[in-house]
Structure 1
């Protein structure tokens, strides 16, 4: 989870433990850019359950490609900030691409085009902030999403004139209908990742999600990230917004519990143990730590454990990761929790 791609420890050509990459940034996993993503995937946020739900609802390749079926797909992933929604989306795309590859020969080897519309850093400001620094209207946000998709289509040598006309089209339904026709002509399948956007109210979010549903044409799959505060009931709100549509799959990540702390420690433990690694963690101590620590999200969990592990590796003899080892590191990070739920972008003048 340290980099969107590149070296990340001994498995990537660094046999010396001291030469491993430092924890300088915290990015979502991007499996098609990160060859060792399977080694970094730790199911601590109930995302494994949601991945199984996604795969159970995933249509056959023929259904995705067949214009007669009438629907593409919208996959909504909701949960608290920092819970791993973007990583889950990328994992879903990876699994979907694997299934596409298995049926590729029978379907004429379709091209799978993946578009992170807010970049690998998943920065929603790129598409949601207007020229004056205020919140952009939904129409402009949708146009910017299509522009990001258009850039990737042009890289794959799709006809420039056709791609430009799709961006210029004002009606979203017609624009994505034209895109569907273009993908069909080139036997391509589009996966587009829509980042979390800090909506000013639930009504704007509802309008946007409905506009995403209008884009659910065959050959088009939109993965939409929805973050919410602890006081919100986003699961119910999102479900009510798109109730009854067979094109929608809703994946909801729950809050962390005591067992999640234990699972993360056990999965993240260095395999070799000893002075250069970590010894078996103390399960009872970690489970008990939840009531005192209560980590707000996976991002905090990861950072506290990595910080504690680095400190323990310099100890003269092996120590287990337990509550006492973690406590000074989680106490330092408590002050930064509020920054994860940033204020929404101010609305445009006039509402």
Structure 2
């Protein structure tokens, strides 16, 4: 007998925003409803607990100005282990904390600072009251080179690229116009001028840095230092990396500096995460049709260890088998459908040999 129906696919809403992580990572700070699609599996509940324990006590101190401090959050793990969704959920929760802290500072009480109840599912959220959020998607590089200290000619533009991108986006959001960057050609002075504007407007700044490939360990360490040095005056950097040894890169920071650094890790899925993943997603409200019923024996299925290395593998499996079921007008999914997909996509020994170290 079918267990229940599963909305694994949905027609994107009219504004073109797809709610499912098979299309884009969950970004609840940007899309209302994404926070309800979060599934507590693998290592993410512990990572989220660590984030909350670290950031909640100090959120009130993350404010612009010389007396305010910032923070560096590093999210590490292999590709496909949920880093991006974890990072974006943490951004969402941090922004809620900062809104509350800002409201209290202004002697206001607005609950958790959320207006979620007034927004339709999958709609874009209104901008945070206290915070500018800048994502640096598309900031690729050749993996070489490092930025120079203030006042010196840069050897390459790789690190300065990050500052220029943030300055450009935030200055535009603050109504500064295209002349702001040209008026501050030195990246360090431009950054200082930008944080001065944020202070004047009582705005915090969150910068999301997706994984950037660096070709050696020293560059990776220097990039973390580069980001940390700009985490002050109400600025928080979220840095995503596939470098599973990033904890070693954080060792050179002093004990005092590490108080302003939070490291979150994602790992392989656990044996029971397949059923947990399915059960939670099958119960979500508001996700558009079509739906496909799922037999109980699908929940009892245990994927091999190679499939549990990446949540994206489970997502890809479900997406494909649901597509096939819809095309074949099948009433529901059975265990053999899922087992056949995993068997057909089992990696060969050569696939593992080709995987080199990642940084």
Alignment TM-score, normalising by the size of structure 1: 0.74
C-alpha spacing 1:208/1:135, structure 2 compared with 1 (3 Å): same
| 1:165-204 → structure 2 map (5 Å cutoff) | 168-171=185-188, 176-204=191-219
Deviations 1:107-134 (A, max 9, x none): 349531000012xxxx442xx23xxxx7
Establish whether residue 135 from structure 1 lines up as the match of residue 144 from structure 2: yes
1:225 to 240, 244, 253: 240
Residue in 2 that maps onto 1:261: 274
Residue in 1 that maps onto 2:261: 248
C-alpha spacing 1:70/1:157, structure 2 compared with 1 (3 Å): closer
Residue in 2 that maps onto 1:3: none
1:206 to 197, 212, 221: 221
CA distance in 2 between partners of 1:77 and 1:112 (Å) = 21
Gaps of 5+ in 1: 1-7, 14-20, 346-351
User: How far is 1:343 from its partner?
Assistant: 9.2
C-alpha spacing 1:36/1:305, structure 2 compared with 1 (3 Å): same
CA distance in 2 between partners of 1:65 and 1:259 (Å) = 42
Residue in 2 that maps onto 1:95: 93
Residue in 1 that maps onto 2:126: none
Deviations 1:159-189 (A, max 9, x none): 4599427963254xx6544433221111111
User: How far is 1:60 from its partner?
Assistant: 4.1
Establish whether residue 215 from structure 1 lines up as the match of residue 230 from structure 2: yes
User: How far is 1:265 from its partner?
Assistant: 2.0
C-alpha spacing 1:30/1:247, structure 2 compared with 1 (3 Å): same
Instruction: Tell me if the contact between 2:207 and 2:236 (Cα under 8 Å) persists in the aligned partners.
Output: yes
Instruction: Tell me if the contact between 2:181 and 2:190 (Cα under 8 Å) persists in the aligned partners.
Output: no
Higher RCO (C-alpha 8 Å, min separation 6): 2
Instruction: Tell me if the contact between 1:76 and 1:224 (Cα under 8 Å) persists in the aligned partners.
Output: yes
- SS across alignment from 1:145: helix
Deviations 1:28-52 (A, max 9, x none): 1222332221343222332222122
Alignment TM-score, normalising by the size of structure 2: 0.72
Instruction: Tell me if the contact between 1:266 and 1:280 (Cα under 8 Å) persists in the aligned partners.
Output: no
Residue in 2 that maps onto 1:9: 10
1:327 to 311, 328, 339: 339
C-alpha spacing 1:261/1:210, structure 2 compared with 1 (3 Å): same
Deviations 1:78-107 (A, max 9, x none): 000122212211111111122223344333
1:83 to 81, 84, 88: 81
RMSD of aligned alpha carbons: 3.7
Residue in 1 that maps onto 2:131: 112
- SS across alignment from 1:168: coil
Instruction: Tell me if the contact between 1:79 and 1:252 (Cα under 8 Å) persists in the aligned partners.
Output: yes
CA distance in 1 between partners of 2:299 and 2:308 (Å) = 17
Instruction: Tell me if the contact between 1:166 and 1:176 (Cα under 8 Å) persists in the aligned partners.
Output: no
- SS across alignment from 1:192: strand
Residue in 2 that maps onto 1:29: 26
Establish whether residue 144 from structure 1 lines up as the match of residue 161 from structure 2: yes
Residue in 2 that maps onto 1:290: 304
User: How far is 1:138 from its partner?
Assistant: 4.1
Gaps of 5+ in 2: 1-8, 109-128, 149-156
- After alignment, is 53-62 or 306-315 more displaced? 306-315
- SS across alignment from 1:105: helix
User: How far is 1:194 from its partner?
Assistant: 0.9
C-alpha spacing 1:279/1:243, structure 2 compared with 1 (3 Å): farther
CA distance in 2 between partners of 1:165 and 1:63 (Å) = 32
Instruction: Tell me if the contact between 1:255 and 1:297 (Cα under 8 Å) persists in the aligned partners.
Output: yes
Structure with greater helix share of residues: 1
Residue in 2 that maps onto 1:17: none
